[in-house]
Amino acid sequence: MIARADGRLRSHNRFAYSPIVGRPAFEWPGGKRLAVYVALNLEHYAFGEGLVEELVPGIPQPDVLNHSWREYGNRVGAWRLAGVLDELDLPATVLVNSDLYAHCPEVVAAFRARGDEIAAHGRTNSERQNDLAEGAERALIGEATETIARHEGKRPLGWLGPWIAETRLTPDLLHEAGYEYVLDWCADDQPVWLATRAGRLLAVPYPQELNDSSAIIGRRVGADAFGSMIVDQFDEMLEQSADAPLVMGVALHAYIVGQPFRLRHLRRALRHITGKRESTWLTTAGAIARHYAALPG
């Protein structure tokens, strides 16, 4: 039996149900109604062990094929994506595995030079934290945070867990470590306040479907179709935002959309969005969190 004695299912108790219709009105800067941000995942994986993202599943370790595919993102894909973002004058929230600073610091430095937001994405995507005891998880968060702060000159304020994996204490530990927002809770098109044991933590919407990993690798969506998904999502949300302000994220991975044939369709989609910048707030997840947190009430 999973139901409690009072007949209700167990809850996370982080936030209450709230339908998007009828919420208090607010606006993004400049009176905009749709905030759009690009979340670029820069990831580092161990060779021959740990968790993996697979283009071709089932290869025994050491898996040179899939490891090389993932590493293409750091050697080539990330640089091509930086070029597209420069071309379109588009900011990004860069989600960084802290182990990248030891492996390929030049990649992170390139996005730092662009003025992009650097947010934390754990230590490496070869591990996830959902099976850790409280002390071990606190240490993982602390190590990733300290490494990023040391290299960037300031601590990260946003967190996306590797594999979006959490323990029952993760929001508490993130809040206690000084984080202002988290991207793990993908339940809304507006930010949501999460209750923690010592205050509150903002969940900024992060896309599970408009995500090249789940769409292209998980569901085998083609590059052209993924580009069209971005365009359709933007056009529909721009219309919907007349009723309520919304957040649209586009989640990307350098080793997936950094492939040339996919990059062409991504450029097409992002060009469509930037062509309507007068009616859209093109921003970062951190700027969204700061603006929302400062709203009255």
Tell me, what's the pLDDT at 3?
60
Mean pLDDT value across residues 121-137? 98
CATH of the domain at 159: 3.20.20.370
* Structural domain includes residue 241: yes
Tell me, what's the pLDDT at 2?
64
Domain ranges, residue 243: 55-293
Q: Which pTM does this prediction carry?
A: 0.97
Pairing of strands 199-203, 192-196: antiparallel
* Structural domain includes residue 223: yes
Q: How many domains is the chain built from?
A: 1
Round to whole Å and give the CA distance between 54 and 256: 11
Tell me, what's the pLDDT at 96?
98
Write the single-letter amino acid at 99: D
Q: How confident is the model at residue 287 (pLDDT cuts 50, 70, 90)?
A: very high
Please choose, from the candidates 240, 251, 253, the residue with its C-alpha nearest in 3D space to the C-alpha of residue 280. 240
Round to whole Å and give the CA distance between 62 and 47: 7
Tell me, what's the pLDDT at 56?
96
* Structural domain includes residue 212: yes
How confident is the model over 9-64, as pLDDT tens digits? Answer: 999 999 999 999 989 999 999 999 999 999 999 999 999 999 999 999 999 999 99
Mean pLDDT value across residues 186-199? 98
Tell me, what's the pLDDT at 278?
96
* Structural domain includes residue 190: yes
* Structural domain includes residue 4: no
How confident is the model over 94-121, as pLDDT tens digits? Answer: 999 999 999 999 999 999 999 999 999 9
Tell me, what's the pLDDT at 180?
98
Q: What percent of the chain has pLDDT over 90?
A: 96
Task: Work out the mean pLDDT of the chain and round it to a whole number.
Answer: 97
Structure tokens of 109?
């430095």
* Structural domain includes residue 271: yes
Q: What percent of the chain has pLDDT over 70?
A: 98
The pLDDT of residue 88 is above 80:
yes
Q: How confident is the model at residue 7 (pLDDT cuts 50, 70, 90)?
A: confident
Q: How confident is the model at residue 1 (pLDDT cuts 50, 70, 90)?
A: low
* Structural domain includes residue 137: yes
* Structural domain includes residue 148: yes
Round to whole Å and give the CA distance between 158 and 154: 12
Direct distance between the N- and C-terminal alpha carbons of the chain, in angstroms, rounded to an integer: 40
The pLDDT of residue 82 is above 80:
yes
